[in-house]
Chain A
Amino acid sequence: MSLAKVKIGERARIAHVGGTEALRRHLGALGFVAGTVVRVVGASFGNMILAVHESRVAVDDATAAGIEVDAA
């Protein structure tokens, strides 16, 4: 399912990162790769704040929607 559907406080394991080459590269450098577990810290109008490893990354709604995840 899409990361956008994960609720605040829940975790999910990344299956695939979608989007343009540039976006995927940037997200990759930030730790968004298949297999990584992320946790949703906050969400507002579709935009999300995600906990990746020990960092917090804010992404817009379209970007979040493009990340495929499985339950963690």
Chain B
Amino acid sequence: MANSVKIALAGNPNCGKTTLFNAITGSEQYVGNWPGVTVEKKDGVLRGHKEVVVQDLPGIYSLSPYSTEEKVSRKFLVEDRPDAILNIVDGTNLERNLYLSTQLAELGLPMVMAVNMMDVVRKNGDKIDFAKIGKALRCEVVGISALKQEGDMEAAEKAVTLAKKGVVEKGPGKMPDVPHVFTGSVEHAIAHIEESIQGKVPLRSIRWYAIKIFERDREIIRDLGIGVGEMKHIEEHIRDCEKELGDDAESIITNQRYDFIKTLMDKSLALNERRKNKATLSDRIDKVVTHRILALPIFILSLCAMWWLAVAEKGPGTLLTDWANDGFLSEGWHVPFTTHEVDGKDYEEASKDFAKAEATVAAWEDGKKKAFIEDEETGKVDEEWEIDEAAYKAAKEAKEPDPSKYGIWVPGIGALIGEALEKAGVGDTVKSLVVDGAWGGVSTVLGFVPVIFIVFLFLAFLEDCGYMARVAFIMDCILRRFGLSGKSFIPILIGKGCGVPAVMAARTIEDERARRMTVILSTFIPCGAKTVIIAMFASLFFREQWYVAALMDVVGIAIIVLGGLALKKTRAFAGEASSFVLELPAYHMPTFSGVWHHTWNRLKGYILKAGLIIFPACVFLWFVMHFDWSLTLLGDEEIEKSILHDLGSWIAWLFAPLGFGSWQGAAASVSAEIAKEQATATLGLVTAGMDGATTGSHIQALFASVSAFPKLAALSFMMFNLFVPPCMVAIAVTFREMGSQRWGWFAVGFQMLVGYVLAMSVYQLGVFFAGGGFGVWTAVAILVDLWCVWMIVRPGRRAA
């Protein structure tokens, strides 16, 4: 676009830049609360100005060329030459924010400084003199509140106006109007350097370049092609300053910037006297939350609160999930408060009567004298009674109760689809493809949306209020004792949502070994898709033990710590824990729209995935389940002849030590590599022939048939799928971030080992303790576990 205007959005992390970006471009970029979230630049079109492109740069503290975020931002500002800079500054943190502003101003580009969070500044009773700051930094300064959308568009439009006016020059060919921040001999040296690089750089940025050279910025020196001789001459000036001021060049620059800022603040910032140097509310909260004894319990407690809400039997998550699975998506449901009795019985009782009648008919026709019905969930016999011919005749007359007579009945989507297909005259086979295959699989996954929703909502709240940064700090306190850094933990927190951005967030870790280790370990914390698996198993096997769900998170973290320890003992990963420096943003009440957007984005993605990945996968699975190798269509009872059965059986033996060595378990586990939640859909599909009325009971029946300890087998299956390598997409990203095939395979191999050993140990030892006897595999499990313990506690090797 020839006439497009480029505005760069630059500022510290946590200054509200992305909130502003969303407000002025109408986009919905994820607003993160710690470095590493925005590792790339994002652009959008300014509202109402089609020709203006706004570029959101990663949050940076400085324009040095060292961290990934800095490199990205600097490259854009210096090479891509935006037409104007919109510098967002946190008004409650003015001094530190201006450190970057002075550098931006030196670039000589038209600049508008937007002092954000003015609502908080006013509430605090502080006063800021915009005019004085603007004069000192040679730019326009305005106050805004991105959160409340006050002044944000105006600030952006000011930047556009400046951009269109052009470069801030005192006159043609004259030096640009940029702030002079330094003193005496330093200014002198800079002036000299400016002279020597005249003509090599655009005139308006000459000062910025000169200062960089003074700081001995290797990249700039190289890019400008400054010769050895020239550099020697410049070096003399620099060394003179260093000798005079008793410090190295970079430190001199940093110190003088802050001196300049301090003087400026004395003139233009008036802090509310009553607030000065007192502990803020955030500080007081932190004293408790990061307390050496309370910190970890508080964190675990918050995880437990989240999981209780999501999967506890009496909690909202289970309530909604049951409604979704048993009602909304399948058969149907009664609108609450509209149900009433018919003939003295409510719908449930009437249905039970009908079920008993059906059981009576079936038993009599089978030649039995007793009939029984089973409890759907436990599979145990609920009731048993004797039958005779009279009972049989009466039972045969029984009619299925019509739910619409008992209240306002909304048929479920599954029922509606089935009816529609029947009415249209679709045959049974195709009907099965649609209802059991496609819809069956997709609805299994969608049924757990309430659980995902609650988990994501909770996490979004914790992230937005600022608590997650504290968690990284707390984990560092603990991990440091073991040679690991909390910096590695930030991607792990991101991994709770999805493993892909988690692995990518490891980029911000400079130390190569720590970065590699983080990539390998981040995906052990259950992601959103894995949460579906947890949700299903909690609902089917651990209803009364909701804490099993929370345990999965704890196990994930434990694996990360122990796995990290084990890796650290090897030559390839040994070394000191990298330093941990993290800004903790003040706690703030998350906005409803912020949390909602976060949560809704994730939810949307999950639902989209159901349509785009789960759906075709289920269609494919239905086909390989219903055809044999000669592509003959199989009947209902012939599933053992199917392609899928054979494929699954070939590798089922691998899962035998884990307790679920059947073709169904194998098929489900392999299919999980497409998307972790596919495991649940596949389980639903392959258990179609098993006992029970609902998909859930089919799956329970499956585990009962493969192991004498179904709950243990279920636990093992769940843990296997949670802790082996993540889905294909995340694996692909792992390979990419590792940068080499060798490391990629190492990561995958390590993860596979961990998942397998863990599931095997849980099953084998669990069976042993449950009275299942001591077998070969019990011994194997114990030996392997001992080996693992050795790997963790042995003395470490020196770094390679």
A residues whose Cβ falls under 8 Å from a Cβ of B = 8-9, 11, 19-31, 33-36, 39, 41-42, 44-47, 49, 51-63
Contact = CB atoms under 8 A, between A and B. Distances in A.
Contacts of B243: none
A51 B250 CA distance: 24
Interface of B: 61-62, 64, 66-67, 92-96, 99-100, 250-251, 254-255, 258-259, 277, 279, 282-283, 286-287, 290-292, 295, 469, 473-474, 476-478, 480-481, 485-486, 510, 577, 579-586
Contacts, number: 128
B61 A29 contact: yes
Dominant SS among interface residues on chain A: mixed
Contacts of A54: 92-96
A30 B581 contact: yes
12 contacts: A9-B279, A20-B579, A25-B66, A29-B100, A46-B480, A49-B286, A49-B473, A49-B584, A54-B93, A54-B94, A56-B286, A63-B580
Sorted nearest first, the 7 A-B pairs with minimum C-beta distance are: A29-B61, A29-B62, A60-B580, A28-B254, A53-B95, A44-B292, A56-B584
A14 B292 CA distance: 26
B480 A60 contact: yes
Given A33-B258, A34-B255, A56 B586 contact: yes
Given A23-B581, A55-B583, A58-B469, 13 more contacts: A11-B277, A25-B64, A25-B66, A31-B95, A35-B255, A44-B477, A45-B478, A47-B476, A47-B477, A54-B95, A55-B96, A60-B480, A63-B581
Contacts of B579: 19-20, 23, 59-60, 62-63
B94 A47 contact: no
A51 B585 CA distance: 11
B94 A59 contact: no
A56 B480 contact: no
Nearest to B294: A44
A35 B727 CA distance: 51
A29 B480 contact: no
A53 B96 contact: yes
A57 B94 contact: no
Contact of B481 (A36, A45, A62): A45
B295 A44 contact: yes
A56 B581 contact: no
A46 B292 CA distance: 10
B316 to A, nearest CB: 35
Contact of B66 (A19, A22, A49, A53): A22
Nearest to B275: A54
B420 to A, nearest CB: 59
A61 to B, nearest CB: 7
Dominant SS among interface residues on chain B: helix
Nearest to B258: A33
A54 B261 CA distance: 14
A18 B735 CA distance: 37
B582 A58 contact: yes
Nearest to B578: A60
A29 B581 contact: no
B93 A55 contact: yes
A45 B95 CA distance: 30
Contact of A30 (B96, B282, B476): B96
Given A26-B61, A28-B254, A47-B476, A52 B287 contact: no
A25 B295 CA distance: 30
Contacts of A46: 477, 480
A49 B99 contact: no
A19 B578 CA distance: 12
A60 B290 contact: no
A21 B366 CA distance: 85
B701 to A, nearest CB: 50
A59 B290 contact: no
A39 B283 CA distance: 11
Contacts of A35: 255, 258-259
Nearest to B288: A42
Contacts of B581: 23, 26-27, 30, 57-60, 63
Contacts of B282: 56
Contact of A49 (B92, B290, B481): B290
Contacts of B582: 57-58
A51 B586 CA distance: 11
Contacts of B99: 29, 31
Contacts of A56: 282-283, 286, 583-586
A8 B286 CA distance: 12
A45 B295 CA distance: 12
Contacts of B255: 33-35
A33 to B, nearest CB: 5
Contacts of A31: 95-96, 99, 258
B583 A36 contact: no
Contacts of B295: 44
Contacts of B61: 26, 29-30
B599 to A, nearest CB: 27
Contacts of B277: 11, 39
A58 B477 CA distance: 10
A58 B473 contact: yes
A9 B481 CA distance: 25
B218 to A, nearest CB: 12
Contacts of B477: 44-47
Contacts of B485: 60
Residue among B277, B291, B580 with the most chain A CB within 10 A? B580
A32 to B, nearest CB: 9
A49 B103 CA distance: 27
Contacts of A26: 61, 67, 581
Contact of A60 (B96, B476, B584): B476
A29 B61 CA distance: 6
B283 A51 contact: yes
A45 B584 contact: no
Contacts of A27: 581
A46 B485 CA distance: 14
Contacts of A24: 251
Contacts of A45: 292, 477-478, 480-481
A22 B510 contact: yes
A62 B254 CA distance: 22
A60 B292 CA distance: 14
B608 to A, nearest CB: 37
Contacts of A42: 283, 286-287, 290-291
